[in-house]
Structures are given as C-alpha cells and as structure tokens.
A and B are shown apart, each in its own frame.
Chain A
Amino acid sequence: EPEVTQTPSHQVTQMGQEVILRCVPISNHLYFYWYRQILGQKVEFLVSFYNNEISEKSEIFDDQFSVERPDGSNFTLKIRSTKLEDSAMYFCASSSKRDQPQHFGDGTRLSIL
C-alpha cells in the first residue's frame, strides 16, 4: 500500500537555527498538509498546499514557516529560526482530492535545544 514517507525521523537543532523537514507524499495525490503534535497534546493543522501554492494556513503558521514542493515528489516544511516551543512531532499528510481521506506519514520528531 502506498505510504507517505518523512525524513528525518528525529531532528535535533539549536534554537535559532533553520530546519527543513521533508516528506514524500503518495505519488498520485494532489493535496498536501503539515500538522504538528506537541507531546501529549492533540494534532494541530498547520498548512494545506495545492496547485503549488498555500491554500489554507493556521495562526500557528507564521512568517517563520514556509512550505515548498521543489520537485514532483518532495514536499518540505522550513522553519527559519527555530524556537524552543517549535519542539513537536511534525506530520505530513496527503490526499487525492480535498474531500478524500488524508494519509499521514510517521512524522519527524523535532527537538529544539
């Protein structure tokens, strides 16, 4: 069964550094998402991406965050200057249509020191 794959599984970064989280969505999917989950809390929506542009974003997704689909297979989340409170599990998801089920990757655990 096709999967969403995320790399790395764990990223440790110093506060203030830039970090890029990578995702390979399912190949025929057109809608892409990033969510985050702070330890012990619920999953929170960050951003949705369709047709090479952001279609929706949450208040969490401020100017420090950006997303990109640099080629036909990868989907990335960049945090420009990381803060301690960015420590969380980041999940990428994709779907074939916007009203179809979203399939999640296993996440990247981001630890900011």
Chain B
Amino acid sequence: GQQVMQIPQYQHVQEGEDFTTYCNSSTTLSNIQWYKQRPGGHPVFLIQLVKSGEVKKQKRLTFQFGEAKKNSSLHITATQTTDVGTYFCAGPGKTSYDKVIFGPGTSLSVIP
C-alpha cells in the first residue's frame, strides 16, 4: 500500500537558522498537503499543492511539489520560536478520492 516517509525525524535549530523537511511517497500523489501540529495540539492544515513542480510561499514558509508528484519539501527561512511543532506531509493516492495518508512527521525545536 501507499507509504509516506519524511526526513529528518527530528531537527533542532538555533533561532534564525533555516529549516527544511522532506517528504517522499511510494506512489504518485494527486496532491500533497502539509499540516502543523503544536505540542499537545491537533494537526492544522497549512497548504495543498496540486500541480507537478508547484511552489507556494506563505511568508517565511516555502512549499514545493516534485515534478514526479512523489516528493515534496517544506522550507522555513529564519526560524522563530513560534515555528516549534511537528510538520506532517500527507496525501491521497492516485486520485483525490483516496484516503489521506500521513507521513511520520518532522519535529522541529527552535533554540532561542
């Protein structure tokens, strides 16, 4: 079945440094979604990418969807303590009708 992997599992950065997490799927995705979960909270939707090679920005966050629609990345520029949390990528399978499968997440710690 479909598997979604993320690296790294954990990342500790000094405040102001950049951060990147990578997501890979074993199958082609119809779209890729990113979620953020703060400690003790629930996953919150950040963004969805649909097109091959698509790049979207949200302030200091840059999201990219690979050409083959099997990988994605999230890059945070100049991290802040408010960025602390676990970032999950998730995607349905070949069609948007499929169940949304989550990766294991990358936990980001920001040292002030």
A binds B: no
Q: Which of A's residues lie within 8 Å of B, judged by CB?
A: none
